[in-house]
Structure 1
Amino acid sequence: MNKLTPVLKPLTLPNGAVLKNRLLMAPMTTCTGFYDGTVTSELVEYYRDRAGSIGTVIVECCFIDRLGPAFPGAIAIDSDDKIPGLKKIADAIKSKGSKAILQIYHGGRMVEPELIGGRTPVAPSAIAAPREGATTPKELTGEEVETMITKFGDAVNRAIKAGFDGVEIHGANTYLIQQFYSQNSNQRTDKWGGDRDKRALFPMEVLEITHKMAKRFADASFIIGYRFSPEELEVPGIRFDDTMYLLEKLAARGLDYVHFSVGQLLRPSIVDTQDPTPLITKFRAMRSETLAKVPVIGVGGVVNKSDAESALEHGFDLVAVGKACIAYPDWADRIINNDHLELYIDSHKREELNIPEPLWRFSLVDAMIRDTSVTGRKYKAGVYQEKVEAEALKLKINVVLDTDRITDIQLVKDDSLDVDFTTTFESLRTRMLVANSPHVDAITGATTQSEALKKAVSRAMTTSNKEHVIDEGGNPQAPQNFDVVVIGSGGAGLAAAIQAHDDGAHVVIIEKMPTIGGNTIKASVGMNAAETRFQKLKGIEDSKDLFYDETLKGGKFKNNPVLLREFVELAPEAIEWLAAKEIELNDITITGGMSIDRTHRPADRSAVGGFLISGLVKNINKREIEVLLETSVSEILFENGAVSGVQVVDEYNDTRILNAKSVIVATGGFSANRNMVVSYRPDLDGFVTTNHAGATGSGIAMLQRLGADTVDMGEIQIHPTVEQTTSYLISEAIRGGGAILVSQAGHRFYNEMETRDKVSAEIIGLPEKSAWIIFDEQVRANNKAADEYIAKGFVLSAPTPQELAVKLNMDPQVLADTLERYNLFVVAKKDEDFGRTTALRHPLNQGPFFAIRIAPGVHHTMGGVTINPDTAVLDAQKQIIPGAWAAGEVVGGIHGANRIGGNAVADIIIFGTLAGRKATAFSKA
């Protein structure tokens, strides 16, 4: 690791606060807040993942007033009830060793009425923003202006209470503070408008009240920064000398840094387009000695270490990094290690990179997502001309393609092109050439133009690809041929595809969702198997017969005995199949309904789902198995009494035929299809589900159209321990590790290690219909999933049981007595109250103590299509539907009336690999 780079030098701010290095994460919109601006748990984790080696994280802009959000999903600091959520963000960042600064703002006239309940936005003057369809705002009265300044002060106070190290006053991006300083938006005649001094009064007063709050409620190291946009295109509007005038006044009052808001570090003037001088050069030449003492942050286009070092060389003191921090949560570590980075995001990796779903769909990120479907395309070499049309922009480009890549993108000469777009084009051109893809990030401030340009390049590539196919004597619309089509990319589908490929099949995976993983990625506890190598290494004596008997009992004797016997017999082989593919599950725990430790999980005791999918995807990539994301199967084709392929519809609504003699359906269950659940179980109306949005039962419906029979459709499992606000499943491994369940009254009420259906029924029977899962530091240390729950923000903790009880609104003595009694049972290895015989691992007596409120949620649909032991789908007459195979939760009969925790992961690997093997053999016959 090279630590000689200047970007790692500490910097002392004017107030004495020390930043450990020159790198900051820039404030970027995530659109991830709740409807009222409160913080979500996934937003906390997004920031936690990106803190650490980077010196400072500036959290996205937080609106200070209910009329202030400038975009959907904005987070708020408009009331005290927002403090706890913001505190989670600050704590998450600081726990990793980074400074946490919160940006505060009000959108002013940039606020859309639909974001504020149809009300009219407010601004310095009743002048609409110069954009199509902009609403004319209501002019703030003098009294309202004073109140608005007070609200900024209240926001600073809340930021201090939330534990932030500082605030950044957002005086940029044409929001309210900038609107007060701009002649274009501020045409008032009172003390808040007029000449430059008067227009500067509002930002000065916001800074003044920030200082007052910091002096009153924070220590001397509290950081106060100011973000500014150096120029406006509007006439009249802010010019660079206006900005310098304001910055001098702000610096004289006291600032710890100023922060350029521009799309590129070395951007020149957008007004004086004949002057190529970077604005930072002008800034340094024009600033006074006072302003020179205030560090300046540069931002825009920083991806690699050389970019950051170049920023310092050109006179910036600090460097803010935006989109690179989204694409690479560990960006600072990577550039310190001299990694060369490309600015794109693999379309499969949203969850791995901890990018919240709303941010993933936001244009900022969407433009960086690389479409993997482009990979492997062949092109007819040549020059392809396309038109680009966006708003007033109309131009032509030439896209130069070789047989496998983009070699150049050229602007067709046009004297009407303005310099500003030429700069945008050159930046975007470079990105697309480096990525060999049109799917790169847009240029800040020119999103519409960027998207239009990228679409034009994409059209050229599509045209070239079609011409290549034609030149090769093919038809671009012709069906494609495969041996095996796998529908669904969860564990069963991936295992099936890998096995089919290894057996010599030409395979394709079809996934309707935008990411790989299905419901498997949410699996937590582990994979059950008896008589395994790993059990023997740990001295655990087990038997397949016992595993069979306990699963049959857990399923209330409704399990298909032939499928269950196959399941039990093949489980150890499935463990070895995974190990051979470097997916080793060598730690072992226990779940409810089992009497022996046979639940296999990763060595680090993390949740099995992410570990499993990560390993399977690596194997998919190594084999170069094609995966079609955001592609739905509209029909399984059936000709001459057998399956003949599928008809698919992609995200562009284009239809294709994929021919195959074997189709494996691994689409999961239907827990996320509320109507379907309620049609079989009306009593489950209103229950949350732990499943992902794609678990809609589509595979069952497709197979039913072929005549497939179903079984046990009314057998729907509710999991007893689900955190209700997030629908997050609390792993059975926590109870298997020694945790207990207590009622709101503070008492244990049932054997925690009974089967899921029985424990769920007992919880529903409580007055509150919910309970608390209680565990101590020993359980947490042995279950990595517990750290995940803590990070999600729904775990309460305290040093002692009594203090924990207070947080739970529970009688402290009752909870202490409950734990004491349980601990005696653990020592005696005999639960005199509820007959618990397993997972009595150790007394719960090591603080801190933890609690999670839980209640049941729809978790697994045991019913599905019928199959035989070879995974062939059967019709109502129990006859094989030739070419149709199924594996995973889409299948019924294996689990009976209740699934044992840990059996689902075993199910998907056992029957997924079996389906891959049998389907390939059938396709080759």
Structure 2
Amino acid sequence: MTSSERILSPFTLPNGAELKNRLLMAPMTTCTGYFDGTVSSELVEYYRARAGSIGTIIVECCFVDDLGLAFPGAIGIDNDEKIAGLAKIAAAIKGEGSKALLQIYHGGRMVEPKLIGGRTPIGPSAIAAPRDGAATPVAMTTAEVEAMVGKFGEAVRRAIQAGFDGVEIHGANTYLIQQFFSPNSNQRDDEWGGSRDNRAKFPLAVLDITHKMARQYADDAFIIGYRFSPEELEVPGIRFDDTMFLLEKLAARGVDYLHFSVGAALRPSINDTSDPTPLIDKYCAMRSEALAQVPVMGVGGVVNIADAVQGMEHGYDLIAVGRACIAYPDWTARIASGENLELFIDSTQREALQIPEPLWRFSLVEAMIRDMSMGEAKFKPGLFVETVQDDVNELVINVSLETDRIVDIELASSPVQTVEFTSSFEEIRSRILDANTPHVDAISGATSQSEAVKKAVSKAMLKSSKARVAEEGGEPAGPKRYDVVVVGSGGAGLAAAIQAHDEGASVLIVEKMPTIGGNTIKASAGMNAAETRFQRVKGIQDSKELFYQESLKGGGNKNNPELLHRFVENAPEAIEWLARRGIMLNDITTTGGMSIDRTHRPRDGSAVGGYLISGMVRNVNKRGIDVMLDTSVDDILFEQGEVCGVRLLTEEQESLTVQAKSVVVATGGFSANSAMVVKYRPDLEGFVTTNHKGATGGGIALLERIGAGTVDMGEIQIHPTVEQNTSYLISESIRGGGAILVSQQGNRFFNEMSTRDKVSAAIIALPEHYAYIVFDEHVRAKNKAADEYIGRGFVTSASSPRELADKLGMDHHAFLATLERYNGFVEKQHDDDFGRTTALRAPINEGPFHAIQIAPGVHHTMGGVTINTETEVLNAAQQVIPGAYAAGEVVGGIHGGNRIGGNAVADIIIFGTLAGHQAALRAKRS
């Protein structure tokens, strides 16, 4: 029998259980569980798709205790309610003919407090992990150690009841079990620490209770595996001799396999770097006869059959396969048929490959993704030299193109090339080359430079595309035809384009700015919707009627009732529309004017705008939707009483005519047009704006030229919390997370969760016309945006409230009294002073303490063009202008006299998708 045949032949474990081959899918974190650790249907289908030809699937690690999850989206096995969901995974895998194992673990000191509600993680000793920002854990008491062994046992029972064929005990990756064995993390002086024998007691106790549960609840074929990390870099730390000591003891107690946890199956020592001998070779040479009876599994770097064969030749009995199983769900069948595979993922195939969106965004997976959306040849091959400008420098960039891909990007010259500059250039270069598109996320902290590089690539692609058309005898400057032209690339425009494309329309997106995203990319709080499944999962009782009434009240009863009803009714489906496209807004908070948690945001609590645009751009790229940047719309073409296209002006001052059956205008509001703001609201002269510089009202003017009516133009919202030096918005989610507003005198002065107009008015009425938003570490940990504010230098921080007051030049007696009084209100859940009823989440008492000086700024223009509930633009006589559609802040009437925080993001998705649908429908009829 050849080595290849051995790999694909059945294999019997020490307990008699037969695996149909020696190949296993490695346990890989997907981050796809719900907030409470329950299983999502997406996760079930991910595992079902990968079962069948492979012998066994080891399902990703499940936390055994609610303090034990080491990453967001982890799934749990910490209570009996989790059994039903896990049973669906086991049934899906076994139904396809593979065995199903479940890995169980506890993160110990590797758990981040923000993942466990701000609580402090636990560990063998009160010693922080040797990594930046690691929390110091609470040392477990003897009773707690014994109880933890019991929790592992209960987890095994649940795995059995869920129908799994076995469990893998996770004693690797510096998690709790490894922490007990490590002399670095375990410096106890009781029976669970000290000597190597004592440090081995915890992993052995977990193995013992696993056997006990298997004897009590399972049959003899139940598989018990153990995963281990062979070495630690730390001093003191686990060395290979220590590992062999532990493995011999595990073998004596009985395990069905041992699983080497290494990045590459043939990795040598990380301690003795002078010795190139693979650790598996050392293991085979050092193991006893008893240990040699236990099958050993290798993982890391296995893509083709030759990789697996090489691993077995070095002594592995079983081979675990990681990334290759993500890229190829039917990996085993492919290599069995003789395919030689390349490790990459087609960017257009996420749904087909059943890869959950959180896993798609995981760094190891992202690195495998190639943008295949370009399809046929688009470019004339060659080197294009582009000169672009970032904030301070002129950059000369060489862009090399082949017929269908970006080959290389080189920085030809730049006045300044620091280490940071070069590093960020290499990162943005890598992102563009990996994705095969310039439409990628900018590098945090190097946005201007990133956008300049992206612009250079876009310019090169445009020139090359034109050259190819000319070479083939075409007319590059001739009229082009699309079913739908979308003007504006913010959230509404992208939603409209994606929806229209998905309904069969050919679509062009036109954006006057050099980058995609519009004002949406600056959105921070989230997206409001009532009666969503994410609310139901969290037990939040809400209703569309309440949502309607609170939005109407917040808008001063000036909202267009028909548009508001359509808005509220369509909001839950808009959440699902995003989710179906891999954009999950499944964490929920609240904003001012809302009495219920209904503001949906990313799972990690980050600002919604960047996350939303990033996800939608991926969808645009995948669909191959055409995008023209640095291109303005001179006119909407109007003939015989209906819209028939647009006239464009490119950055090179080239005029283009594009014929279209429908035009969707999604250009945003006019907050950045100070003259226009002052025209309608003279009292706002001199106010900063939170908007990007493209929010100038151009779309309103375009539509007015073809007869569109307008409404509510004088209704302009100022946002209460704006950092004045940078005009940067401080998210309402900070107040929604439990922060308060304090005057320079150290006093609260208003209900922080009231509507934006009222809070703004209260700040303006203060003698100094500014205030501080004050929060503690508990709030910061739950709101990722706060870390950005700290990084940007907006935040004053101190270890104590008194120190913070001193830094702010504030009377510390008054400030301390304010905190004490507010914390009392939190305790009794009633604000005696200002009637705040929402976001009284936790007392402000966990240091460090933080403050940001803020004042109001122009934020949103509620007025705009008139539309009906089908997003058709209406003229001054309230008649439909055929072929013209509008969505987003360019539209008036929806929000009345004041917009509730979180309603704008809902608006752009609800009416953006509706506009895309209607525009595509009209194109089909024409």
Scaled by the length of structure 2, the TM-score of the pair is 0.54
Amino acid at match of 2:469: N
- Give the secondary structure class of the aligned counterpart of 1:702: helix
Alignment map for 1:150-549 (pairs within 5 Å): 324-329=422-427, 347-349=438-440, 351-357=442-448, 359=449, 369-372=455-458, 375=461, 462-468=466-472, 470=473, 474-549=474-549
- Give the secondary structure class of the aligned counterpart of 1:661: strand
Query: Contact between 1:586 and 1:603, CA under 8 Å: does it hold in 2?
Result: yes
Matched, 1:626 2:626: yes
Alignment map for 1:737-756 (pairs within 5 Å): 737-756=737-756
Amino acid at match of 1:371: V
Partner residue, 2:588: 588
Partner residue, 1:608: 608
Partner residue, 1:790: 790
Query: Contact between 2:439 and 2:617, CA under 8 Å: does it hold in 1?
Result: no
Q: Deviations over 1:1-50 (max 9, x none)?
A: xxxxxxxxxxxxxxxxxxxxxxxxxxxxxxxxxxxxxxxxxxxxxxxxxx
Aligned-pair CA distance for 1:344? 11
Aligned-pair CA distance for 1:466? 1.4
Aligned-pair CA distance for 1:360? 5.8
Rounded to whole Å, the distance in 2 between the matches of 1:501 and 1:463 is 27
Query: Contact between 2:511 and 2:630, CA under 8 Å: does it hold in 1?
Result: yes
- Give the secondary structure class of the aligned counterpart of 2:867: coil
Partner residue, 1:698: 698
Rounded to whole Å, the distance in 1 between the matches of 2:747 and 2:618 is 46
Rounded to whole Å, the distance in 1 between the matches of 2:674 and 2:624 is 36
Rounded to whole Å, the distance in 2 between the matches of 1:833 and 1:916 is 47
Query: Contact between 1:324 and 1:343, CA under 8 Å: does it hold in 2?
Result: no
Query: Contact between 2:739 and 2:775, CA under 8 Å: does it hold in 1?
Result: yes
- Give the secondary structure class of the aligned counterpart of 1:691: coil
Aligned-pair CA distance for 1:838? 0.8
Matched, 1:865 2:865: yes
Aligned-pair CA distance for 1:813? 1.1
Q: Deviations over 1:872-915 (max 9, x none)?
A: 00001000000000000000000000000000000000000000
Rounded to whole Å, the distance in 2 between the matches of 1:872 and 1:342 is 40
Partner residue, 1:119: none
Task: Describe the shift of the 1:861–1:524 C-alpha distance in structure 2 as closer, same or farther (beyond 3 A).
Answer: same
Task: Describe the shift of the 1:301–1:756 C-alpha distance in structure 2 as closer, same or farther (beyond 3 A).
Answer: closer
Q: Deviations over 1:187-244 (max 9, x none)?
A: xxxxxxxxxxxxxxxxxxxxxxxxxxxxxxxxxxxxxxxxxxxxxxxxxxxxxxxxxx
Partner residue, 1:684: 684
Aligned-pair CA distance for 1:661? 1.2
Task: Describe the shift of the 1:914–1:352 C-alpha distance in structure 2 as closer, same or farther (beyond 3 A).
Answer: farther
Amino acid at match of 1:467: E
Matched, 1:879 2:879: yes
Alignment map for 1:742-781 (pairs within 5 Å): 742-781=742-781
Q: Deviations over 1:735-787 (max 9, x none)?
A: 11110001100000000000000000000000000000000111101111111
Task: Describe the shift of the 1:736–1:323 C-alpha distance in structure 2 as closer, same or farther (beyond 3 A).
Answer: closer
Amino acid at match of 2:689: T
Amino acid at match of 2:772: W
Partner residue, 2:809: 809
Partner residue, 1:650: 650
Query: Contact between 1:327 and 1:343, CA under 8 Å: does it hold in 2?
Result: no
- Give the secondary structure class of the aligned counterpart of 1:371: helix
Amino acid at match of 2:721: T
- Give the secondary structure class of the aligned counterpart of 1:483: strand
- Give the secondary structure class of the aligned counterpart of 1:644: strand
Partner residue, 1:392: none
Amino acid at match of 1:658: V
Alignment map for 1:39-188 (pairs within 5 Å): none
Q: Deviations over 1:121-152 (max 9, x none)?
A: xxxxxxxxxxxxxxxxxxxxxxxxxxxxxxxx
Aligned-pair CA distance for 1:302? 15
Amino acid at match of 1:764: I
Rounded to whole Å, the distance in 2 between the matches of 1:463 and 1:581 is 34
- Give the secondary structure class of the aligned counterpart of 2:624: coil
Amino acid at match of 2:754: E
Rounded to whole Å, the distance in 2 between the matches of 1:895 and 1:815 is 36
- Give the secondary structure class of the aligned counterpart of 2:885: strand
Query: Contact between 2:874 and 2:880, CA under 8 Å: does it hold in 1?
Result: yes
Query: Contact between 2:630 and 2:650, CA under 8 Å: does it hold in 1?
Result: yes
Query: Contact between 1:522 and 1:610, CA under 8 Å: does it hold in 2?
Result: yes
Q: Deviations over 1:529-566 (max 9, x none)?
A: 00000000000000000000000000000000000000
Rounded to whole Å, the distance in 1 between the matches of 2:428 and 2:447 is 16
Query: Contact between 2:632 and 2:648, CA under 8 Å: does it hold in 1?
Result: yes
Task: Describe the shift of the 1:907–1:647 C-alpha distance in structure 2 as closer, same or farther (beyond 3 A).
Answer: same
Partner residue, 2:665: 665
Rounded to whole Å, the distance in 1 between the matches of 2:906 and 2:397 is 46
Query: Contact between 1:671 and 1:677, CA under 8 Å: does it hold in 2?
Result: yes
Amino acid at match of 2:885: W
Aligned-pair CA distance for 1:322? 7.3
Amino acid at match of 1:327: F
Rounded to whole Å, the distance in 1 between the matches of 2:641 and 2:465 is 40
Partner residue, 2:717: 717
Give the total of aligned pairs: 517
Amino acid at match of 1:355: A
- Give the secondary structure class of the aligned counterpart of 1:477: coil
Deviates more, 1:320-329 or 1:675-684: 320-329
Aligned-pair CA distance for 1:95? 7.2
- Give the secondary structure class of the aligned counterpart of 2:578: helix
Q: Deviations over 1:561-614 (max 9, x none)?
A: 000000000000000000000000000000000000000000000000000000
Query: Contact between 1:347 and 1:514, CA under 8 Å: does it hold in 2?
Result: no
Q: CA RMSD in A?
A: 2.6
Task: Describe the shift of the 1:486–1:733 C-alpha distance in structure 2 as closer, same or farther (beyond 3 A).
Answer: same
Q: Deviations over 1:37-70 (max 9, x none)?
A: xxxxxxxxxxxxxxxxxxxxxxxxxxxxxxxxxx
Query: Contact between 1:346 and 1:369, CA under 8 Å: does it hold in 2?
Result: no
Q: Deviations over 1:505-536 (max 9, x none)?
A: 00000000000000000000000000000000
Query: Contact between 2:439 and 2:621, CA under 8 Å: does it hold in 1?
Result: no
Rounded to whole Å, the distance in 2 between the matches of 1:830 and 1:504 is 54
Aligned-pair CA distance for 1:462? 4.5
- Give the secondary structure class of the aligned counterpart of 1:595: coil
- Give the secondary structure class of the aligned counterpart of 1:482: strand
Aligned-pair CA distance for 1:356? 4.3
Query: Contact between 1:861 and 1:889, CA under 8 Å: does it hold in 2?
Result: yes
Rounded to whole Å, the distance in 2 between the matches of 1:509 and 1:330 is 23
Query: Contact between 1:511 and 1:630, CA under 8 Å: does it hold in 2?
Result: yes
Rounded to whole Å, the distance in 1 between the matches of 2:398 and 2:910 is 47
- Give the secondary structure class of the aligned counterpart of 2:575: helix
Partner residue, 1:446: none
Rounded to whole Å, the distance in 2 between the matches of 1:806 and 1:345 is 52
Rounded to whole Å, the distance in 2 between the matches of 1:322 and 1:770 is 36
Matched, 1:617 2:715: no
Gaps of 5+ in 2: 1-130, 135-395, 400-416
Query: Contact between 1:690 and 1:858, CA under 8 Å: does it hold in 2?
Result: yes
Task: Describe the shift of the 1:347–1:879 C-alpha distance in structure 2 as closer, same or farther (beyond 3 A).
Answer: same
Amino acid at match of 1:867: I
Rounded to whole Å, the distance in 1 between the matches of 2:582 and 2:532 is 17
Q: Deviations over 1:83-135 (max 9, x none)?
A: xxxxxxxxxxx9799xxxxxxxxxxxxxxxxxxxxxxxxxxxxxxxxxxxxxx
Partner residue, 1:198: none
